[in-house]
Amino acid sequence: MDNIILLIETATDSCSVALSKGTEIIAEKYINQPKAHASTLAVYIDDILKENSLTIHDCAAVAVSKGPGSYTGLRVGVSCAKGLCYGAGKPLISVCTLATIAQLAIDEGLCSSNEPYTIVPMIDARRMEVYTANFSSCGEQLSEVNAKILDEHSYDELLEKGKVLFTGNGAEKYKPLIGDNNNAIFAPAELHAKGMRVVAANKLAKGEFEDIAYYEPFYLKEFVAGKPKKLL
């Protein structure tokens, strides 16, 4: 079973797992339900392997979403992936969550045009903040991942240069800020593990693996726990 990769995506409210061979998807399981990662992920992994007559030992590697995204979701996904890799002696591959969103937009044909697009995936970071980066219409990352507080001028310069596709669960927050702009296209998208396959396959081919013992998710911002409510 050469080049089969188990893909794990838990960076937002959605939780999904998939099996890929090269850049082809064999199977996928998906649910969009807040706080379901801990109870769902291990079951989905077990089911998808059994349904395809595979075990983790048949996989060449395990790929996991590295973030940015939900603190809890990323912890669950990475912990599970590391456990599988430890137990089966498989390499660990990390995939940027924003790259996954950009690839999903490409897969859906949202950038099919004679003119080049810039893809701007956005992950909701609460209030008017998003985690984001810029990608080409071919999926090449063009800027560093950053936490951006949105205002009406956040993407003026980029929009002046050409078409921009805003996608991901944070994109809708930007839409009312800029009004009508012929260069702005909005396509909110849910995260699916199948969008990880291209980056994961490339990293497998190049042998770009993480150190399982020390690997941690890319949170971008430190987790801040809420203050406990007073009982009285």
- Domain of 179, CATH number, reads 3.30.420
**pLDDT value at position 232?**
46
Residue 112 pLDDT > 70: no
Q: Are residues 158 and 84 part of one domain?
A: no
Q: Is the pLDDT of residue 132 over 60?
A: yes
Peptide bond into 116 cis (omega under 30): no
pLDDT at 186: 93
- Between 220 and 201, whose confidence is greater? 201
Q: Is 45 part of a structural domain of the chain?
A: yes
Q: What is the mean pLDDT of the chain?
A: 91
Share of the chain above pLDDT 90, in %: 79
Residues in the chain: 232
Q: Strands 146-149, 129-132: parallel, antiparallel or unpaired by DSSP? A: antiparallel
The answer as to whether 11 is a domain residue is yes
115 pLDDT band (50/70/90 cuts)? confident
> For residue 55, what is the domain's CATH number?
3.30.420.40
- Domain span holding position 50: 4-97+191-206
Distance CA 18, CA 14 (A): 13
Find the mean pLDDT for residues 181-200.
92
pLDDT band at 224 (very low <50, low <70, confident <90, very high): very low
Residue type, 107: D
Residue 7 pLDDT greater than 80, yes or no:
yes
Q: Are residues 51 and 93 in the same domain?
A: yes
Arithmetic mean of pLDDT, 217-228: 62
Tell me, yes or no, whether 66 and 127 share the same domain. Answer: no
196 with 90, same domain: the answer is yes
Query: What gap in Å lies between CA 211 and CA 232, rounded to an integer?
Result: 47
Same-domain status, 126 and 196: no
- For 4-18, 71-85, 211-225, which range has the lowest pLDDT when averaged over its residues? 211-225
What's the N-to-C CA distance of the chain in angstroms? Answer: 60
pLDDT value, residue 225: 44
Confidence band of 196 (pLDDT split at 50, 70, 90): very high
Domain count, the chain: 2
> Which whole number is the average pLDDT over 67-88?
95
Instruction: Give how far Cα 82 sits from Cα of 33, 61, 78, 193, Å.
Output: 23, 11, 6, 17
Please give the C-alpha separations between residue 112 and each of 10, 85, 121, 209, in angstroms, as whole numbers.
28, 38, 17, 32
Tell me, yes or no, whether 211 lies in a domain.
no
Within this chain, do residues 176 and 196 fall inside the same structural domain, yes or no?
A: no
Residues 6+ apart with CB under 8 A from 60: 1, 2, 3, 4, 5, 90, 91, 204
